Amino acid sequence: MILALSLMLAQTLGASNYAVDAPMAVPVAAPSFADEFNGDAIDDATWRYDTERNAAGWYNHERQYYAKERPENARIEDGALVIEARRETLSKDQHPDWGGQQYTSARLVSRAGYGHGFYEIRARLSCARGTWPAIWMLPPDGIWPDAGEIDIMEMVGWDANVVHATLHSGLFNHRLGTQRGAQIEIPDACTEFHRYQLDWTRHAITIGVDDRAYMRVANDRPGGKGAWPFTRPYHLILNLAVGGDWGGKEGVDDDAFPQRMAIDYVRYWKSGD
């Protein structure tokens, strides 16, 4: 039985293209949760700053220090959340967890977890070589990749205006080269705001931009949780990384800093499925 399942999985793990072209409909009801970023400061009841890996260094060999409550790196400006990456050197006197990084930025994580439903995040991205803006989701606990990851939007500056949507799980992840996803080119992703959308149900995860889906992964593969761990609420993450195995593949353009990602709003409609 185990051998049969292993052979079945081996026949399906190689699939990598989950591209679709289909409409996405924003719910007509009021959102279950929304942050319009219209206040004077980031709402610390809604968001927390993730600084856990500053001293040890961040995953994927990223090169940034994620600051906490530092307006140079995260602030409300003109009705939007601005996450700004800067090339600068800090000091341990003022920042005891500083790990010697030459870049600063911010990584905000929702305090609440959100599950099945429709998500819309209106954002303008950063395109400089070496930057890595992301809007994504992780569960509150568990080991990666077994616990799952939903990448609503990722873009690397050396491949500007190409936006990626990806799912990771124990059986389908980039370490194995089996991650499930798709990509789309948005020619003005770094100069204009676009609406990055996720429709998450128990049957499928669909990701799109501006009411048009470009990726869909169905919950129809063998492997149980290894194929589909997306059964509980995840936390939403907004960050702008610098460098890393993917983001820094073509180096970092130091002369382009500071760089910003702006989030106009975050909206979520909970579904009962």
**Averaged pLDDT, 192-207:** 98
Contact indicator for 106, 237 with CB cutoff of 8 Å: no
Q: Which two tokens stand for residue 195?
A: 């609406």
Whole-number pLDDT of residue 14: 38
Whole-number pLDDT of residue 195: 98
What number of other Cβ atoms are within 10 A of residue 5's Cβ? 12
Q: Is 154 a catalytic residue?
A: yes
**Averaged pLDDT, 206-218:** 98
Separation of CA 55 from chain center:
22
- Listed in sequence order, the residues at least 6 apart from 1 whose beta carbon sits closer than 8 Å to its beta carbon are none
Give pLDDT tens digits for 72-83: 999 999 999 999
Q: Is 149 a catalytic residue?
A: yes
**Averaged pLDDT, 120-128:** 98
Whole-number pLDDT of residue 156: 97
Average pLDDT, the chain: 93
For the ranges 9-18, 31-40, 119-128, 178-187, the lowest mean pLDDT is seen at 9-18
Catalytic residue among 52, 154, 185, 192: 154
Whole-number pLDDT of residue 83: 99
Whole-number pLDDT of residue 6: 37
Residue 10 has pLDDT above 50, yes or no: no
Residue 241 has pLDDT above 50, yes or no: yes
How far apart are alpha carbons 131 and 124 in whole angstroms?
13
Residue 142 has pLDDT above 80, yes or no: yes
What number of other Cβ atoms are within 10 A of residue 152's Cβ? 27
Domain ranges of the chain: 15-270
Residue 151 has pLDDT above 80, yes or no: yes
The backbone region for 252, taken as left when phi is positive above 0, alpha when psi lies in -120 to 50, beta otherwise, is beta
Q: What is the CA radius of gyration of the chain?
A: 18
Residue 13 has pLDDT above 80, yes or no: no
Whole-number pLDDT of residue 2: 35
Percentage with pLDDT > 90 across the chain: 92
Residue 236 has pLDDT above 80, yes or no: yes
Whole-number pLDDT of residue 4: 37
Name the band, by pLDDT with cuts 50, 70 and 90, for residue 272: confident
Helix, strand, coil shares of the chain, percent, nearest 5, are 10, 40, 50
Q: Which two tokens stand for residue 165?
A: 């949507």
Q: In the CATH hierarchy, which fold is given to the domain comprising 15-270?
A: Jelly Rolls (2.60.120)
Name the band, by pLDDT with cuts 50, 70 and 90, for residue 248: very high
Residue 177 has pLDDT above 60, yes or no: yes
Name the band, by pLDDT with cuts 50, 70 and 90, for residue 17: confident
Residue 15 has pLDDT above 50, yes or no: no
Catalytic residue among 62, 84, 120, 149: 149
Say what the pTM is.
0.94
What number of other Cβ atoms are within 10 A of residue 226's Cβ? 15
